[in-house]
């Protein structure tokens, strides 16, 4: 019997180790949990979630190895996502009432896990958008001259492909670099008049993201006791962006191509934060190489 108990502990430890490899999204969401063997739902709170498992908090004592089902309703308008798992750990937080449970989504298919991963990514995107938009009032309250704004935006010379479209014309493949949250440098084959509005479509290079540490959690000691701090997933791949801009300057042609400065005229908070993440990665890589 003792050998069986040790083996089970080892399996649970391996499951928890595997879960830590995946990004965990912090969340405080009330849920109704269906527990195998119990006649009525148990009410609790979803604390964090990844595509392989989650952590729950409840005032009700639940035995380990019980199967649990609940629905994820992470945002208004989204269809509820049914989640199925098994309780693998139980703990009693020192500074909170009730119990915390570690759940492994071992009862979900790969297709269901992939859908959950997409939903978690959407949570990240919306969280980043909220952070970026919260900074906008401060920017508006202290306007600066355009020239100073451009100098204040960190720029990078990494080249990447881009498609641009002029009014009434099809899109054309070109190249861009020197990007910042305020604009970019566009290199193409045709002349473009200053003041022309352009639509830009591009995905920033993912090759620079290896400079960031993997997403994880660390424990910090505070006056109120230990606290889990989440390190964000800065390695998540860049998505394609569509941003409107206006041609504001023309530079000396390079290698037979026209070169223009494009100022962004319609960029949202999430896109601005993603460009800042890209330029930060390039800066870190250059500092480490020096």
Indicate if 149 and 49 belong to the same structural domain. Answer: no
- CA dist 63 and 101 (Å) reads 10
Strands (E), the chain: 25-35, 42-49, 53-58, 67-72, 81-91, 99-104, 160-165, 172-177, 183-188, 197-202, 216-222, 225-231, 241-254, 257-266
Domains identified in the chain, total number: 2
Q: What is the pLDDT of residues 237-251, one digit of tens each?
A: 999 999 999 999 999
Indicate if 180 and 102 belong to the same structural domain. Answer: no
Indicate if 37 and 107 belong to the same structural domain. Answer: yes
Picking from 5-19, 34-48, 188-202, 216-230, which range would have the lowest pLDDT averaged per residue?
Answer: 5-19
Percent of the chain at pLDDT > 70 equals 73
Q: What is the pLDDT of residues 7-52, one digit of tens each?
A: 444 444 444 444 345 567 888 888 899 999 998 899 988 988 888 8
Domain boundary among 119, 134, 165: 119
Place of tokens 């020192």: 94
Indicate if 106 and 176 belong to the same structural domain. Answer: no
Q: Is the pLDDT of residue 82 over 70?
A: yes
The answer to whether residue 92 is domain-embedded is: yes
Q: What is the pLDDT of residue 172?
A: 96
CA angle, residues 135, 137, 143, in degrees to nearest 5: 105
The answer to whether residue 248 is domain-embedded is: yes
The answer to whether residue 136 is domain-embedded is: no
Q: What is the pLDDT of residue 135?
A: 55
**Mean pLDDT in residue range 60-81:** 86
Tell if the pTM clears 0.85, that is, is over it. Answer: no
Which pair of structure tokens corresponds to residue 192?
A: 């473009």
- Those residues whose C-beta lies under 8 Å from the C-beta of residue 104, and which sit 6 or more positions away, are 15, 19, 52, 53, 85, 86, 88
Domain that residue 31 falls in: 2-119
The answer to whether residue 140 is domain-embedded is: no
Q: What is the pLDDT of residue 12?
A: 46
Indicate if 259 and 158 belong to the same structural domain. Answer: yes
Which pair of structure tokens corresponds to residue 160?
A: 């990447």
b/e 55-82 (16+ beta carbons within 10 angstroms → b): bbbbeeebeeebebebebebeeeeeeee
**Mean pLDDT in residue range 101-126:** 86
The answer to whether residue 138 is domain-embedded is: no
The answer to whether residue 20 is domain-embedded is: yes
Q: What is the pLDDT of residue 16?
A: 44
Q: What is the pLDDT of residue 226?
A: 67
Indicate if 107 and 190 belong to the same structural domain. Answer: no
Q: Give the total residue count for the chain.
A: 290
Containing H/E element for 159? none
Confidence band for 227, pLDDT divided at 50, 70 and 90: low
Indicate if 64 and 172 belong to the same structural domain. Answer: no
Q: What is the pLDDT of residue 146?
A: 45
Indicate if 194 and 272 belong to the same structural domain. Answer: yes
Indicate if 177 and 112 belong to the same structural domain. Answer: no
Which pair of structure tokens corresponds to residue 38?
A: 């119990």
Q: What is the pLDDT of residues 120-141, one digit of tens each?
A: 877 777 766 666 555 555 544 4
Q: What is the CATH number of the domain that holds 281?
A: 2.40.10.220
The answer to whether residue 78 is domain-embedded is: yes
| Helix residue ranges per DSSP H, the chain | 2-20, 110-141, 146-152, 269-289
- Those residues whose C-beta lies under 8 Å from the C-beta of residue 25, and which sit 6 or more positions away, are 48, 49, 50, 120, 123, 124
CA angle, residues 145, 136, 119, in degrees to nearest 5: 140
Q: What is the pLDDT of residue 3?
A: 40
Q: What is the pLDDT of residues 232-281, one digit of tens each?
A: 678 889 999 999 999 999 999 988 999 999 999 988 888 888 888 898 88
Indicate if 76 and 153 belong to the same structural domain. Answer: no
Indicate if 114 and 171 belong to the same structural domain. Answer: no
Domain boundary among 119, 153, 176: 119
Q: What is the pLDDT of residue 114?
A: 86
Picking from 168-172, 244-248, 280-284, which range would have the lowest pLDDT averaged per residue?
Answer: 280-284
The answer to whether residue 125 is domain-embedded is: no
Indicate if 152 and 82 belong to the same structural domain. Answer: no
For residues 261 and 249, the answer to whether their CB atoms sit within 8 Å is yes
């Amino acid at each position: 019997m003792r050998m069986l108990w040790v083996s089970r502990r080892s399996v649970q430890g391996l499951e928890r180790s595997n879960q830590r490899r995946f990004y965990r999204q912090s969340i405080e969401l009330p849920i109704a949990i269906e527990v195998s063997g119990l006649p009525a739902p148990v009410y609790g709170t979803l604390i964090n979630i990844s595509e392989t498992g989650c952590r729950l908090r409840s005032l009700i004592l639940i035995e380990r190895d019980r199967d649990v089902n609940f629905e994820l309703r992470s945002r208004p308008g989204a269809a509820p996502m049914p989640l199925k798992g098994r309780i693998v750990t139980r703990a009693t937080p020192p500074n909170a009432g009730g119990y915390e449970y570690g759940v492994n989504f071992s009862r979900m298919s790969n297709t269901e896990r992939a859908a959950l991963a997409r939903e978690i990514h959407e949570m990240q995107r919306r969280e980043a958008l909220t952070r970026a938009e919260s900074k906008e009032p401060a920017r508006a309250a202290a306007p600066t001259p355009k020239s100073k704004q451009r100098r204040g935006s960190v720029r990078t010379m990494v080249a990447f492909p881009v498609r641009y479209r002029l009014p009434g014309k099809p899109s054309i493949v070109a190249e861009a670099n020197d990007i910042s949250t305020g604009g970019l440098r566009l290199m193409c084959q045709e002349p473009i008049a200053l003041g022309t509005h352009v639509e830009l479509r591009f995905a920033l290079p993912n090759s620079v993201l290896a400079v960031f540490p993997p997403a994880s959690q660390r424990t910090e000691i505070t006056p109120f006791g230990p606290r889990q701090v989440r390190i964000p997933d800065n390695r998540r791949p860049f998505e394609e962006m569509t941003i409107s801009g206006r041609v504001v300057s023309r530079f000396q042609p390079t290698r037979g191509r026209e070169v223009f400065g494009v100022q962004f005229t319609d960029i949202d908070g999430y896109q601005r934060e993603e460009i800042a993440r890209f330029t930060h990665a390039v800066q870190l890589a250059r500092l480490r190489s020096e």
